[in-house]
Amino acid sequence: QKEVEQNSGPLSVPEGAIASLNCTYSDRGSQSFFWYRQYSGKSPELIMFIYSNGDKEDGRFTAQLNKASQYVSLLIRDSQPSDSATYLCAPYRYGQNFVFGPGTRLSVLP
């Protein structure tokens, strides 16, 4: 079983729709969960992180965490073409290295 699993995509959604990106992880000791956005040819940039079960909202982004199910997701509301990118999930166990998922490629269609 891979440490971090994400659907590779591409996930295609129409402009204005909600994009739902999912991530499962194997390390039950993971404590914080990070979402990065990476445009083609660019480096990953931090979007948000979550460490408590439930939802965390930041603008159009909502992270959802369910530690019992070892599942974290990122919802993007009112998706825009500029949201088209690869989204990386990264669970983190305090004091250790981040573990990055393979990423999900999102395509928002105008």
Partner 1 sequence: DVKVTQSSRYLVKRTGEKVFLECVQDMDHENMFWYRQDPGLGLRLIYFSYDVKMKEKGDIPEGYSVSREKKERFSLILESASTNQTSMYLCASRTYSGGGADTQYFGPGTRLTVL
Binding site for partner 1 (CB under 8 A): 31-32, 34, 36, 41-46, 49, 51, 88, 90, 92, 94-95, 97-98, 100-103
CA 56, distance to chain mean position in Å, is 13
When the beta carbons of 88 and 106 are compared against partner 1, the nearer one is: 88
Measured CA to CA, the distance from residue 57 to residue 53 in angstroms comes to: 13
When the beta carbons of 43 and 69 are compared against partner 1, the nearer one is: 43
Shortest CB 14 distance to partner 1, Å: 27
Structure tokens at 79: 């998706």
Tally of CA atoms within 13 A in the half-sphere of 57 that contains its CB = 3
When the beta carbons of 17 and 27 are compared against partner 1, the nearer one is: 27
When the beta carbons of 18 and 39 are compared against partner 1, the nearer one is: 39
Shortest CB 100 distance to partner 1, Å: 4
Strand residue runs (E) in 1-110: 4-5, 11-14, 19-25, 32-38, 45-50, 54-58, 61-66, 71-76, 85-92, 104-109
Shortest CB 16 distance to partner 1, Å: 30
